[in-house]
């Protein structure tokens, strides 16, 4: 690390310094203009440079000579640096050694929690509880800001319909409406009021269409029609912009022939002209340099292209730092372009209040008392238990009884380091609660718990490379598979029920972790078969960062609980649900296919000219497969409860004209024996349009708690605003005609009614 001895003098006395973190535009403009008037070209270009400190590894290349560059005014911000002490030292260099004493911003990937880790974002989205989503971001902001961080590279809102893509774990699933709600809630959670020191600036990413990588292979090309782009992929980014997100990150991928980092259409025409975005635009890690292998030219050329496209800050690659001056001299970029980028970076610092107090986020007392607190962990436990999705529960195997013997078997049963999943770079994952520990803590005295690893994660050699980069988090038993399984079967011999903790390891999900086979690895399937053969009831607790192809498991295993990677308190939260202290209420935000050949499989698809009738398998000259039905294993929006909900009496207000809103009312009855929560979902279909329209589109949802036996009427209001879409001319409007309104507890099982809406 870069350290500098010496006291930390505040720059409060610096002439003309802003006096508050106020965002009053006129005052900010005046302040920044006067500062920029003093800046040299090199200092302006320096503000556009964002090195990684190397404390944490999140990419290939690393930055060098950082302290020297900061003192020379060649750095605008720093990321991957952890602790108040280190951040204070670096900030001291900026505000005491550099000529103009401009403070740095400090970023980090605070994605689903800081040291207190919440479920991976895909899991979090399955709570369908926007207050919980917002609260998780709020806690993350409080902890990160207590540790010196003022900027997070979150929320990640890339729509993804391909579970081969490892980064599907980091987003909110396949739906643009739900994705937009989550985007809004996260931005609100991170940055409500930047004038204090408990909020941090958010950075929505990865702009754009990163989740549509061909074949689900990370960093791969995307090529997409504009109507699909605007209707299905862009809404969550726009929702973040509308919510006031302070910054945005360009994606690595090629979009319709131009990498996003040089894509002026995206970074300026859409983002600034259409959407009015006022924050700054940062590349992803060496995103500019990667345009050399993309095939757009040498570093000078691609750096100029990025600036001209609308990029303001260059992460790690130093293309801006090393080439922009030359490009200006050669007339390849303009001073106005450099000024505009520099101004936006400085504005972010102003909005964060760093010109008033560069050490605003460096409060050692906060760091000691506000991070990884018991209260935050309690919240993480509660939120995690609301994210798990009960996929199957035949014969009410769950909840587990608090008597007898439970055999906990599987490579993920006692795997603390795995619980946080992908992107928990600030956390000490050894402090997470494993399922074995959680079960013991929650079970109570009358339950005996026996444990055996049962299998390795997968064949020895797989994932070695990934483990090299990110650390191996699972024990590898060197014995032959049959011996390990035999031990597990013996362990389970005296048990009343078997809980099999299987699935993916954290290393199998997230960035650069695409899979061409999305099944549970073979060694674990072999174990599961052996456990089922014992004839005892088996509960599959499924750890995963993506929808998996588990048709066989769904056919054979009586109970399946999808627990994603639940974060710091995963073990407790899973045990809370397994024993029924929390009734599961999560619903899937992605479609789970039968096999990889069906991908992409998503609920809001077009009808085609030769649709297959619902419930049918194969018909000649229809849009289907010979060897598998069109159905998923689990549809979007699906998830069970320990109680049961019935939908009845869908009624719509009549005679719809113009802006008059439509109300849809439906009665939900908890006709099971337990209290529980249900996510009531509303879908619409426009039957005839100027372009083809999806067979279903989510347009509303409400999560309601119902006592056993209780009924409630739920009302949705739909306005023409909700019917709007981008037509072939990219005009955003609605079209009158017939609509089907549907409501239900998932996207497949719905009550429906038709309405005609006139202008």
Q: Which residues are catalytic?
A: 284
Site string for ligand BGC, 254-293 (x = CB under 6 A): ------------------------------xx--------
DSSP symbol at 120: P
Residue 118 tokens, joined = 């919440």
Q: Which is nearer to ligand BGC, 143 or 370 (CB)?
A: 143
Q: Any idea which residue has 């990498």 for tokens?
A: 259
Draw the binding track, 585-624, toward ligand BGC (x: CB under 6 A; -: no contact): ----------------------------------------
With b meaning 16 or more CB within 10 Å and e meaning fewer, what string describes 613-632? eeeeeeeeeeebeeeeebbb
Minimum CB separation from ligand BGC for residue 182, in Å? 16
Q: Is 634 in the site for ligand BGC (CB under 6 A)?
A: no
Two tokens, residue 325: 């001056």
Spatial CB neighbours of 68, under 8 Å, sequence gap ≥ 6? none
Picking from 555, 87, 176, the residue whose alpha carbon sits closest to that of residue 354 is 87
Assess contact for 508 and 218: CB atoms under 8 A. no
Q: Of the candidates 22, 23, 58, 522, which one interacts with ligand BGC according to CB under 6 A? A: 58
Residue 344's nearest CA partner among 247, 199, 205 is 247
Q: Based on the shown chain and the rule CB under 6 A, indicate whether residue 314 belongs to the binding site for ligand BGC.
A: no
Residues paired with 742 in a beta bridge:
683, 752
Print the binding letters for residues 170-209 with ligand BGC: x by CB under 6 A, - otherwise. Answer: -----------------------------------x----
DSSP 712: E
Unique residue bearing structure tokens 């010196």: 148
Report, in Å, the least distance between residue 377 CB and ligand BGC.
25
The verdict on 631 binding ligand BGC (CB under 6 A) reads no
Between helix 176-190 and helix 235-242 the angle, nearest 10°, is 30
Name the residue nearer to ligand BGC (CB basis): 203 or 497: 203
Binding-residue total with ligand BGC (CB under 6 A): 8
Q: Does 153 bind ligand BGC (CB under 6 A)?
A: yes
Name the residue nearer to ligand BGC (CB basis): 43 or 511.
Answer: 511
Which tokens in the block code for residue 733? 């409007």
Site for ligand BGC in 97-116 (CB under 6 A): 109
User: Any contact of residue 59 with ligand BGC (CB under 6 A)?
Assistant: yes
- 51/537 with CB nearer ligand BGC: 51
514 vs 743, which CB is nearer to ligand BGC? 514
* Nearest CB to ligand BGC, comparing residues 129 and 284: 284
CA angle 370, 509, 554 (to 5 degrees): 110
Nearer to ligand BGC, 171 or 632 (CB): 171
Q: Are 449 and 505 in contact (CB under 8 A)?
A: no
**Residue 393: its H or E element:** strand 389-393
CA distance 410 to 408: 7
Asked if residues 290 and 298 have their Cβ atoms less than 8 Å apart, the reply is no
CB atoms inside a 10 Å sphere around CB 594: 20
Q: Which of 379, 417, 511, 631 touches ligand BGC by CB under 6 A?
A: 511
Task: Count CB neighbours of 428 within 10 A.
Answer: 13
Find residue 280's DSSP bridge partners: 247
HSE (CB half, 13 Å, CA atoms) of 373?
A: 15
User: In whole angstroms, what is the distance from residue 698 CA to residue 716 CA?
Assistant: 12
Contact code string over 532-561 relative to ligand BGC, x by CB under 6 A: ------------------------------
Q: Are 645 and 668 in contact (CB under 8 A)?
A: yes
C-beta of 494: minimal distance to ligand BGC in Å?
A: 48
Residue number, nearest CB to ligand BGC: 58
Specify the DSSP element, H or E, that contains 301. helix 299-309
When the beta carbons of 285 and 451 are compared against ligand BGC, the nearer one is 285
DSSP state of 61: -
Largest Cα–Cα distance of the chain, in whole Å?
80
Q: How far is the CB of 278 from ligand BGC (least distance, A)?
A: 21
Task: Pick the closer one to ligand BGC by CB: 253 or 583.
Answer: 253
Residue 219 CB, nearest approach to ligand BGC (Å) = 9
Contact residues for ligand BGC, defined by CB under 6 A: 58-59, 109, 153, 205, 284-285, 511
């Amino acid at each position: 690390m870069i350290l500098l001895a010496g006291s930390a003098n505040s720059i409060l006395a610096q002439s003309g310094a802003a006096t508050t973190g106020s965002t009053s535009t006129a005052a900010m403009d005046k302040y920044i203009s006067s500062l920029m008037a003093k800046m040299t070209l090199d200092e302006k270009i320096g503000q556009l440079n964002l090195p990684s400190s190397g404390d944490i590894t999140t990419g290939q290349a690393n930055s060098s000579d950082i302290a020297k560059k900061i003192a020379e005014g060649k750095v605008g911000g720093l990321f991957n640096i952890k602790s108040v002490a280190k951040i204070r030292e670096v900030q001291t260099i900026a505000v005491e050694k550099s000529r103009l004493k401009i403070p740095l911003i400090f970023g980090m990937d605070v994605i689903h929690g800081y040291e207190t880790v919440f479920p991976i974002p895909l899991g979090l989205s399955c709570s369908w509880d926007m207050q919980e989503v917002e609260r998780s971001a709020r806690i993350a902001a409080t902890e990160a800001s207590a540790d010196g961080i003022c900027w997070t590279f979150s929320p990640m809102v890339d729509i993804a319909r391909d579970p081969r893509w490892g980064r599907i774990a980091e987003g909110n699933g396949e739906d643009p409406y739900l994705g937009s709600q989550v985007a809004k809630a996260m931005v609100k959670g991170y940055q409500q009021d930047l004038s204090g020191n408990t909020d941090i600036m958010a950075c929505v990413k990865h702009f754009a269409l990163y989740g549509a990588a061909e074949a689900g292979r990370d960093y791969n090309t995307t090529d997409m029609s504009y109507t699909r782009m605007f209707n299905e992929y862009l809404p969550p980014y726009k929702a973040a912009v509308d919510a006031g997100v302070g910054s945005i990150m360009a994606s690595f991928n090629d979009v319709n022939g131009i990498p996003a980092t040089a894509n002026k259409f995206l970074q300026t025409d859409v983002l600034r002209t259409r959407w009015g975005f006022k924050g700054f635009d940062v590349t992803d890690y060496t995103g500019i340099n990667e345009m050399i292998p993309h095939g757009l030219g040498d570093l000078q050329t691609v750096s100029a292209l990025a600036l001209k496209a609308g990029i303001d800050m260059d992460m790690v690659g130093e293309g801006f730092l090393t080439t922009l001056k030359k490009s200006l001299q050669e007339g390849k970029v303009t001073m106005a372009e450099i000024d505009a980028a520099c101004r936006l970076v400085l504005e972010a610092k102003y909005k964060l209040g760093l010109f008033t107090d560069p050490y605003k986020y460096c409060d050692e007392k906060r760091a000691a008392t506000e991070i990884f607190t018991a209260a935050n962990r309690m919240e993480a436990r509660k939120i995690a238990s609301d994210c798990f999705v009960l996929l199957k529960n035949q014969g009410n195997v769950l909840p587990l009884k608090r008597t007898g013997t439970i055999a906990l078997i599987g490579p993920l049963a006692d795997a603390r380091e795995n619980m946080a999943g992908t992107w928990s770079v600030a956390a000490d994952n050894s402090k997470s609660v494993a399922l074995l520990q959680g079960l013991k803590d929650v079970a109570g005295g009358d339950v005996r718990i026996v444990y055996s690893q049962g299998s390795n994660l997968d064949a020895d050699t797989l994932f070695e490379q990934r483990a090299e980069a990110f650390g191996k988090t699972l024990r590898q038993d060197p014995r032959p598979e049959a011996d390990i399984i035999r031990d597990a079967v013996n362990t389970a011999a005296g048990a009343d029920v078997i809980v099999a903790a299987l699935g993916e390891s954290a290393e199998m999900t997230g960035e650069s972790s695409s899979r061409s086979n999305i099944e549970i690895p073979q060694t674990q399937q072999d174990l599961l078969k052996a456990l089922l053969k014992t004839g005892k009831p088996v509960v599959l607790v499924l750890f995963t960062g993506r929808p998996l192809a588990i048709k066989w498991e769904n056919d054979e295993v009586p109970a399946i609980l999808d627990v994603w990677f639940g974060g710091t308190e995963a073990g407790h939260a899973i045990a809370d649900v397994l024993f029924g202290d929390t009734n599961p209420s999560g619903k899937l935000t992605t479609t789970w296919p039968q096999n990889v050949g069906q991908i992409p499989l998503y609920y809001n698809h077009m009808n085609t000219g030769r649709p297959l009738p619902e419930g049918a398998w194969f018909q000649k000259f229809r849009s289907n497969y010979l060897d598998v039905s069109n159905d998923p294993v689990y549809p979007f929006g699906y998830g069970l409860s320990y109680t049961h909900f019935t939908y009845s009496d869908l009624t719509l207000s009549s005679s719809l004209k113009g802006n008059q809103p439509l109300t849809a009312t439906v009665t939900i009855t908890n006709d099971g024996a337990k209290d529980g929560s249900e996510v009531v979902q509303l879908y619409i279909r426009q039957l005839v349009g100027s372009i083809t329209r999806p067979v279903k589109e989510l347009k509303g949802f409400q999560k309601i708690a119902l006592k056993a036996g209780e009924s409630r009427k739920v009302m949705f209001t739909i306005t023409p605003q909700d019917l709007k879409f981008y037509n072939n001319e990219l005009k955003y409007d609605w079209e009158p005609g017939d609509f089907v309104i549907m409501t239900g507890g998932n996207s497949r099982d719905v009550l429906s009614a038709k309405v005609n809406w006139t202008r």
